Amino acid sequence: MGTPEFAAAVLREVLDAGVCEVVAVYTQPDRPCGRGQACRPGPVKVLALERGLEVLQPADFRSPDEVARLAAYEPDVLLVAAYGMLLPQAVLDVPQIMPINVHASLLPRHRGAAPVQRAILGGDAVTGVTIMRMVKALDAGPILSQRALAIGFADDAGSILDQMAVLGGKLLAETLGKMAAGPLREIPQDEARATYAPKIDKAEAEIRFDRPVMAVHNRIRAFSPKPGAFFHVRVHPDRPPIRVIAAPGRPEAEPGTAPVDAAPGTVLGVAEGGLRVACADGIYLIPRVRPAGKKEMTAKAFACGYLSICPDGERPACVACELDAAAG
């Protein structure tokens, strides 16, 4: 049971390992997407059909008939990864052995819908994958296995999710192999150590340059590539500010070692590493940006085309352009 690319990668690892027979694949209904709003299958459905597996896409499990249809497969286990749908107790009771979930954190830390984003936003250096028995309470079931994953300085939510999906799939396959040999040890979660990672609100992706430079770095990474961390910049005094999505970059210097004599949010120019923006304790370099309604471009192209700031004399430089107050 799963829907996005994360779940597809997990399914692929399990299928390739050959540790169990997958009798059916459940995934969310096709959703409209793109400019034409045409319904397109999700990554799990695409993979399942490629492998010749039966695919089911119920809107929910409120109907007893839908639960009965699942039970008719007589599964030993349910494997769940980023399904995107709450499963009632009647569904969790279906498998002969247990329902199993692949969760993208080292539980009990970061229970909830956005564990990777919250880990990066909080500046965590390590995250990981947990294989657990599912219970009614949110991500609170006993732990079957775990594996850690380092979060690198340049990692963003996309790169960590990609690594974690493969890691989670391999760990799930390994866990299923051990299960075939006998009962697994189940480790209860320590409720005193539980933290929560609620669903992302797009408004949280707004960059606040009045924060420390590492907080800016973490926010941009946490919301990259989707939904994209953004700021507003005023490019003309008589026009409203435009919204700009920033790609992850880096501090220009060690945080706190080079105080900035400029208000947070001031664009100080463009350098080799990107657009130089003043933060609370340093300068952050943004290498690439995407203005609203436009394609992604280099910081140099943005500075020349929108701010009239050019490092090589292509156009006259102007005074530093301050970011809209809403962003800092």
Residue type, 108: P
Three-state secondary structure call for residue 282: coil
Give the pLDDT confidence score for residue 127 in this predicted structure: 98
Domain holding 268, by residue range, is: 202-327
Residues 279 and 300 in one domain: yes
Q: 10 Å Cβ neighbour count for 60?
A: 12
Give the pLDDT confidence score for residue 274 in this predicted structure: 93
Residues 225 and 286 in one domain: yes
In the structure encoding, which two tokens stand for residue 301, read together? 């192209």
Tens digits of per-residue pLDDT, 56-85? 999 999 999 999 999 999 999 999 999 999
Closest CA to 250 of 153, 120, 124, 116: 153
Residues 297 and 208 in one domain: yes
Which of 132, 160, 193 is at the close of a domain?
193
Q: Is the pLDDT of residue 318 over 80?
A: no
> Which carries the bigger pLDDT value, residue 323 or residue 296?
296
Closest CA to 93 of 54, 57, 61, 59: 61
Residues 215 and 121 in one domain: no
Backbone region of residue 84 per phi and psi (left: phi > 0; alpha: psi in -120 to 50; beta: other values): left
Residues 189 and 206 in one domain: no
> Which carries the bigger pLDDT value, residue 16 or residue 256?
16
Give the chain's domain count.
2
Q: Is the pLDDT of residue 122 over 60?
A: yes
- Which band of pLDDT confidence, cut at 50, 70 and 90, is reported for residue 309? low
Query: Comparing 22-36, 240-254, 292-306, 314-328, which segment has the lowest mean pLDDT?
Result: 314-328
3-state helix, strand, coil in the chain (%, to 5): 30, 25, 50
